[in-house]
Amino acid sequence: MTTNTAAGATAGVLGQPGDGAGAPVALQGLSRSFGAVRALDGLTLDIAPGELVALLGPSGCGKTTALRIVAGFESADAGSVTVDGRDVSPVPAAKRDMGMVFQSYSLFPNMTAIDNVGFGLRMRKLGGADRSKRAAALLDMVGLSPQARQYPHQLSGGQQQRVALARALAIEPRVLLLDEPLSALDAKVRVQLREQIRTLQQRLGTTTLFVTHDQEEALSMADRVGVMKDGRLEQIAAPHELYSRPATAFVAEFVGTMNRIPGTYQGGDDVTVLGAVVPVHGERPADLAGDVDVLVRPEGLTIEPAASGNGIVTDRTFFGSLTRVSVLLSGELAVKVDKASTAATELVPGSSVQISMPAGVPVLVTARR
């Protein structure tokens, strides 16, 4: 990840990078229902000091509810949230010392950018001169000094979110909470801001909980990503592990692109797929036997031109160094295979290819769909 931000020499005002501002956060058995809907169902999650954890999941999986309980905007039916070992459940949101960045529309429209940033400091009774100095330093940190005197309606969406970030960081929060802060922005601004947030977070060492439905965002920013489903954590792991060794079929298919290929599983450690026998990892439901689906990433398959292969190329998409080739296997099974672009020139649509599984690469198995 690149580290080009507008961060200036603000260490004097903001403390040294990674000076231990971050506090450990623990969510223990959090449950919450809204009427008949169980938004959270025993969520347990530990966040190390200074760590950025992303909660990723489809809408309605409970990730936002979890964040709002940590922030103090919702209360849990059961379970606890501890910060620095102290249960914060009885503490109102205003006294939790948590900086929060919302999806959108969260700047106070009646205040200039610098007054927005200074608001939390004012609530902490920081005097006028110190307050404006610190607010100015934070605006500088997000590269918005020239906009200090502008009102939110005069700022672009990306600028507004940067002010919101500066405002949340101004109070030196023990925990930073990000509630889909980039989802209202256009793609280019989103990528820039993503890098800026990550760089600042690492520099300040603020423990951060980040909620998103965008897997690319989660994978590129977080130290660990927790994939949620039905109010529970399916898996929490470092991005590369989540991608290469997903624990469940849900995680596998939610993160990145996955092929489902029929295979035969007789229990034990191996599964037969595409004529090869490969090892199995991750969950193995006890009743799983016989016909199963094997989950393989596009880069987990090999593709070679072959006169009488087992598939026909239907399409290909150029992604720079990689080319993604769509192949129709016998039995109307469509799969996607990644190939280095330099080696993919022959794979024109209509050509016959041989798709195979490399030996020894572990795969996930799941019930046949």
Partner 1 sequence: MAAVASAEHAGTSLPAPTRRPGRLRTFPFWRWAVLLIAAAYFLIPLYAALKFAGFKAFTQVTGYQDFSSSFTLSLKLAVVATVLTLVLMVPTSVYVHLRLPRIRRLMEAVTILPIVIPPIVLIIGVLKVAPGRLLGTPYLLGLEYVVLAMPFAYRSLDAGLRSFDVKTLVEASNSLGAGWPTTLWRVVIPNLRTAILSASVLTIALVLGEYTMASLDNFQTFPVWIVNFEQNSGPVSVAASLLALFVTWILLMLIVTVGSRSARKRGGGQITLFSVGTADGRPTMGEPE
**Residues lying near partner 1 in the complex (CB under 8 A):** 71-73, 92-100, 102-110, 119-120, 123-124, 151-157, 160, 164, 167-168, 171, 177, 184-185
Q: How far is the CB of 196 from partner 1 (least distance, A)?
A: 17
**Cα–Cα distance for residue pair 227/237, rounded to 1 Å:** 9
**Cα–Cα distance for residue pair 317/323, rounded to 1 Å:** 6
Residues listed for the chain:
369
User: Concatenated DSSP letters for 228-264?
Assistant: EETTEEEEEE-HHHHHHS-SSHHHHHHSS--EEEEEE
Contact 336, 290 (CB under 8 A): no
Residue nearer to partner 1 on the CB measure, 31 or 106: 106
Contact 72, 262 (CB under 8 A): no
Residue nearer to partner 1 on the CB measure, 109 or 360: 109
At 47, which helix (H) or strand (E)?
strand 37-47
Residue nearer to partner 1 on the CB measure, 179 or 293: 179
At 353, which helix (H) or strand (E)?
strand 352-356
Residue nearer to partner 1 on the CB measure, 54 or 164: 164
**Cα–Cα distance for residue pair 154/147, rounded to 1 Å:** 9
> Would you give the DSSP letter of residue 300?
G
Give the sheet arrangement for strand 232-237, strand by strand: 98-101, 175-179, 207-212, 52-56, 224-229, 232-237
User: Concatenated DSSP letters for 70-119?
Assistant: HHTSS--SEEEEEETTEE-TTS-GGGS-EEEE-SSS-S-TTS-HHHHHHH
